[in-house]
Amino acid sequence: MRAINYDKDQKTSTLYFDEVPIPDPDSDEVLIRVHAFGLNRADLLQVRGQYPPPAGASEIPGLECSGIIEEVGENVTKWKAGDHVCGLVDGGAYAEYCLLDSGMIWRKPEGASWVEAAAMPETYLTAYQALYQLMDVTTMERVLIHAAASGVGSAAVQLLSDLDIKKWGTASGPKIDFCLDRGYDAVIDYQKYSFLEKVMGWTGGSGVDGIVDVVGGDYFQDNIKALALDGTLVMLGLLSGVQAGQVNILPLISRRLTIQGSTLRSRSVSYKRELVRGFLDRFHSKIQRGELKPEIYKNLSWADSAQAHDLMRQNKNSGKIVLSIQ
Ligand SMILES: NC(=O)c1ccc[n+]([C@@H]2O[C@H](COP(=O)([O-])OP(=O)(O)OC[C@H]3O[C@@H](n4cnc5c(N)ncnc54)[C@H](OP(=O)(O)O)[C@@H]3O)[C@@H](O)[C@H]2O)c1
């Protein structure tokens, strides 16, 4: 089969078509013929050697895809050849065929395209995990989502749509209308304003109950200052770097804060199956009714993978970039 590969000795991110064997499903896996796969920030890091796949995972990039089941492993009873599905993988989605754990897939919604279905698993599960598992957003009154227009940020606001809660975000100026149109109550242009000052102004100095952050180092001090009593910071990314300078940690104690970091890809199979189950328990009917739909910034052919990586690296996208296998 054809797959997109990259130079493992890198420092460059040259992507190229490779010819590799079609993998065989293990007993709990399904093999799908891939129609589309979503691009994620992690892919950019992986092809530059900064985010190697976990042990046992495919070295081919790609964390999510949609397609048609070709073959099922001997223990798989819920799925059969011909089923249209999408799901989460540790790697291997940039290929004509991909193996998925049978507990990490769901049926492609009737009204969704292959592109939309491929854009869901990684970002929705990440946002769900942050909001409903690593913090309990159902008990909160105000949350702040950094990089609100990102794949993760645009999924997060949809997962909050039924909650009577203030949904605030940060984004660069050109993306603010995108975020407001998609459910954020207010979005701070972080290139012009301090999010800490805005949040403290809006809350009369009391802060927000939860923050989902992918920016990391540059935001760490202001994040802990912006949290309310008993607030939770969930850290998922380090887009600005890993150093946080001279941090005053007093708010951790005086405001009884919780800081929770996570990375989805390296979680165990059982954890991820449970995560998918929890996500579907809460959101399955909305997904199938088409009420949860990923924002597609661009759909390109997988022959244009390098161009797609450039777009994401330059922070051009609002929502998801998806590549179709043609
Ligand atoms: N831990 C996990 O399990 C997990 C899972 C999935 C994703 N992630 C992380 O979540 C983040 C978002 O992923 P994604 O695929 O949704 O990304 P994405 O769609 O590419 O969006 C990232 C956005 O972040 C903003 N940004 C970039 N650098 C920034 C900086 N230095 N300061 C402030 N904002 C910055 C940019 O938007 P603006 O134009 O608004 O600046 C950029 O478009 C990534 O860091 C990714 O690694 C983590």
Considering the domain architecture, whether residues 88 and 145 belong to the same structural domain is answered as: no
Cα 213 from Cα 77, distance rounded (Å): 39
The pLDDT tens digits of the residues spanning 120-132 come to 999 999 999 999 9
39 CA: nearest ligand 1 atom: 15
- Ligand 1 centroid to Cα of residue 71, in Å, is 35
Q: Comparing C-alpha atoms, which of 128, 30, 40 is closest to residue 86?
A: 30
Is the pLDDT assigned to residue 278 strictly greater than 80? yes
- Ligand 1 centroid to Cα of residue 239, in Å, is 6
- Domain with residue 105: its CATH number is 3.90.180.10
Q: What is the pTM of this model?
A: 0.97
The pLDDT tens digits of the residues spanning 19-65 come to 999 999 999 999 999 999 999 999 999 998 888 898 889 999 999 99
Mean pLDDT, range 60-89, rounded to an integer: 98
**Domain-terminating residue out of 226, 261, 296:** 261
Write down the residue that tokens 């073959």 correspond to: 71
153 CA: nearest ligand 1 atom: 16
Is the pLDDT assigned to residue 8 strictly greater than 90? no
Cβ of 13 less than 6 Å from ligand 1:
no
Q: Comparing C-alpha atoms, which of 34, 39, 40 is closest to residue 326?
A: 34
174 CA: nearest ligand 1 atom: 39
Protein residue closest via CA to atom 36 of ligand 1: 315
45 CA: nearest ligand 1 atom: 47
Considering the domain architecture, whether residues 36 and 105 belong to the same structural domain is answered as: yes
**Domain-terminating residue out of 238, 261, 284:** 261
Considering the domain architecture, whether residues 13 and 114 belong to the same structural domain is answered as: yes
Cβ of 239 less than 6 Å from ligand 1:
yes
What 3-state DSSP class applies to 262?
coil
Angle at 154 between CA 6 and CA 205, to 5 degrees: 125
Cα 276 from Cα 305, distance rounded (Å): 27
Write down the residue that tokens 């797959």 correspond to: 3
Contacts of 34 (CB under 8 A, 6+ apart): 65, 66, 67, 93, 95, 96, 97, 98, 325
- Ligand 1 centroid to Cα of residue 41, in Å, is 7
Considering the domain architecture, whether residues 194 and 305 belong to the same structural domain is answered as: no
Contacts of 21 (CB under 8 A, 6+ apart): 1
Cα 181 from Cα 186, distance rounded (Å): 10
* Number of domains, the chain: 2
Q: Which two structure tokens, joined as six digits, stand for 207? A: 């802060």
Would you state the pLDDT for residue 12?
A: 59
Mutate to test the pocket of ligand 1, among 177, 223, 239, 323 (most ligand atoms within 8 A of CB): 239
- Domain with residue 143: its CATH number is 3.40.50.720
Considering the domain architecture, whether residues 298 and 276 belong to the same structural domain is answered as: yes
Protein residue closest via CA to atom 23 of ligand 1: 150
Q: Which two structure tokens, joined as six digits, stand for 238? A: 């380090």
Considering the domain architecture, whether residues 137 and 257 belong to the same structural domain is answered as: yes
Q: How many CA atoms lie within 13 A of 230 on its CB side?
A: 6
Considering the domain architecture, whether residues 137 and 246 belong to the same structural domain is answered as: yes
Cα 146 from Cα 52, distance rounded (Å): 25
Looking at the chain, the number of H-run helices and the number of E-run strands are: 10, 15
Protein residue closest via CA to atom 43 of ligand 1: 315
Considering the domain architecture, whether residues 256 and 309 belong to the same structural domain is answered as: no
The pLDDT tens digits of the residues spanning 252-276 come to 999 999 999 999 999 999 999 999 9
- Ligand 1 centroid to Cα of residue 256, in Å, is 27
**Domain-terminating residue out of 217, 239, 261:** 261
Mean pLDDT, range 229-246, rounded to an integer: 96
Give the residue numbers spanning the domain of 166: 124-261
Cα 84 from Cα 192, distance rounded (Å): 45
Mutate to test the pocket of ligand 1, among 44, 150, 218 (most ligand atoms within 8 A of CB): 150
Buried b (16+ CB within 10 A) or exposed e, 89-99: bbbbbbbbbbb
Q: What is the mean pLDDT of the chain?
A: 96
- Assess contact for 62 and 308: CB atoms under 8 A: no
Is the pLDDT assigned to residue 76 strictly greater than 70? yes
Write down the residue that tokens 């940020």 correspond to: 153
126 CA: nearest ligand 1 atom: 5
Write down the residue that tokens 């993988």 correspond to: 89
